[in-house]
Amino acid sequence: MSSPRIEVDVSKVRHNTRTIVGRLNARGISVTGVTKAVCGHPIIARAMLDSGVAGLAEARLSNVQRLRKAGVTCPITFIRTPMLSQADDVVRVCEASYNTEMTVIAALAAAAIRQNKVHGVILMVEMGDRREGIMPKDLGDIALQVVNMPGVALKGIGANFACLSGIAPNAANMQTLSALANNVEGQCGPFLQTVSGGNSANLPWALEGNATGRINDLRIGEAILLGSDPISGDQIGGMFRDAFTLVAEVVETDVNSVRPSLSFADAKLAKLCLVPNPGDTTRRILAIGHQDTDILGLSMPDGNVLIGATSDHIVIGTKHATLRVGSEMRFQMKYSALMRAMAAPDVEIKLLHDGATRHRRGIQGTGGHLGLV
């Protein structure tokens, strides 16, 4: 088996999805599965759909096109504000998109008219994360412009938390978003089909018994894939954290942990400890590096310590004498490491326990409404 590789236990992805969907549906909240961290991998997307998500959400057109080419026909929402140059393609392959700019919305409307479609628009509201969003005071006026624009339909509003500024969602945030939904409907008329409260960071709020108000959708990726709370990093009860495992091969050993005698052209470099002395551990070099993943997003197995990394290698200190050249090490990943490793061209994806999704008849999603987020 080749390495480096990611081993994906699809059965654990299904379990995590069913767990999240069941808990949130009981609170009146649907789940939109976010597949951007797995580059729109069709089998992983099907595992989410088989397990109850209402639709999918993506941030890259190439990922959406990959899903469509694989036969995925469920609603897909584009969750990154579209570029003007993408308007035609976004309308072609996505039922809806998040938006903050009227110039972009006008381009989507024109593209939809050319394609004899109506494209759904979800307006993103700025509520503290400072990544993107319309200021609340301007939301009603912009919503009214969308309602009066042929080619697009106002389908909902949404907010984002804990991405750029680390602002965690809370009951007050969600009450404000619910009130904004009511205000938009009062000003513009149409019922908002979707009020999307945020992402995996919203799970503590959603599952602690708070009043959900108008919030009826969450966009969930990290919690499904990694079984963890993005803010605390803690495991979510009843969820698997090891659905994805990164495997790398040992290519060099240093059994004696010899500290080399180095000569530096620059005297300042002599003060740097390039090769730490790890005591009773020995060094191993693995064939994976910064070009393949976020090294700091890897969890070192017990008995191992990260010494450093380059573009192509990780250097570790280990107490495991059995790690020889050709041996493999297995790492659990944080979201940043998973996202980069899944996109790395030299990292193979190995699917495990995927039979239940491989033979599914339909790929339609289970939601009775468009899974807009």
325, part of any domain: yes
Output the six-digit token pair for 27.
């609170």
Number of neighbours of residue 208 by Cβ within 10 angstroms: 8
Phi-psi region of 326 (alpha: psi -120 to 50; beta: other; left: phi over 0): left
CATH of the domain at 120: 3.20.20.10
Residue 27: closest CA among 207, 220, 169, 159: 207
β-bridge partners, 328: 249
Read off the pLDDT of residues 47-99 as tens digits, 9 standing for 90 and up.
Answer: 999 999 999 999 999 999 999 999 999 999 999 999 999 999 999 999 999 99
Same domain as 346, residue 219: no
Output the six-digit token pair for 82.
């579209």
Q: Say which residue the tokens 């041996």 belong to.
A: 327
The DSSP bridge pattern shows strands 304-309 and 314-318 to be antiparallel
The DSSP bridge pattern shows strands 348-352 and 119-125 to be unpaired
Q: Is the pLDDT of residue 279 over 80?
A: no
314, part of any domain: yes
Same domain as 143, residue 19: yes
Query: In angstroms, what is the C-alpha Rg of the chain?
Result: 23
364, part of any domain: no
238, part of any domain: no
Name the 3-class secondary structure at 330: strand
Question: What confidence category does residue 166 fall into, taking pLDDT thresholds of 50, 70 and 90?
Answer: low
Q: Residue 67: enclosing H or E segment and its boundaries?
A: helix 61-69
List, in order, residues 6 or more apart from 12 with CB less than 8 Å away: 227, 240, 242, 243, 353
The DSSP bridge pattern shows strands 217-220 and 244-254 to be unpaired
Mean pLDDT across the chain: 87
Asked if 76 and 45 count as a contact pair (C-beta separation under 8 A), the reply is: no
Q: Say which residue the tokens 């624009």 belong to.
A: 149
368, part of any domain: no
Same domain as 163, residue 42: yes
List, in order, residues 6 or more apart from 269 with CB less than 8 Å away: none
Residue-level pLDDT at 163: 62
| Mean pLDDT score, 191-198 | 94
310, part of any domain: yes
Split into its structural domains, the chain has a count of: 2
Residue-level pLDDT at 168: 76
Same domain as 335, residue 219: no
| Mean pLDDT score, 277-303 | 86
Q: Say which residue the tokens 């990394």 belong to.
A: 309
CATH of the domain at 317: 2.40.30
Distance between CA atoms of 188 and 141, rounded to whole angstroms?
A: 9
363, part of any domain: no
Read off the pLDDT of residues 334-364 as tens digits, 9 standing for 90 and up.
Answer: 999 999 999 999 999 999 987 654 434 233 3
Same domain as 52, residue 198: yes
Q: Residue 162: enclosing H or E segment and its boundaries?
A: none
Same domain as 112, residue 185: yes
Residue 77: closest CA among 99, 58, 60: 58
Of 24-33, 155-164, 253-262, 294-303, the least confident: 253-262
User: Max CA-CA distance within the chain?
Assistant: 76
| Mean pLDDT score, 232-252 | 93
Of 147-156, 183-192, 301-310, 356-365, the least confident: 356-365
Output the six-digit token pair for 150.
């042929």
Residue 19: closest CA among 246, 327, 228: 228
Residue-level pLDDT at 332: 96
Same domain as 254, residue 110: no
List, in order, residues 6 or more apart from 245 with CB less than 8 Å away: 6, 7, 9, 330, 331, 332, 333
The parent domain of residue 43 ranges over: 8-233+354-358
Q: Residue 95 CA to chain centroid, in angstroms? A: 20
Same domain as 170, residue 29: yes
Same domain as 268, residue 228: no
Residue 338: closest CA among 203, 228, 252, 199: 228
Sign of CA dihedral 154, 156, 157, 158: negative
Q: Residue 330 CA to chain centroid, in angstroms? A: 22
Asked if 174 and 201 count as a contact pair (C-beta separation under 8 A), the reply is: no
Same domain as 157, residue 39: yes
Same domain as 143, residue 25: yes
Instruction: Quote the pTM value.
Output: 0.86
Same domain as 206, residue 122: yes
1, part of any domain: no
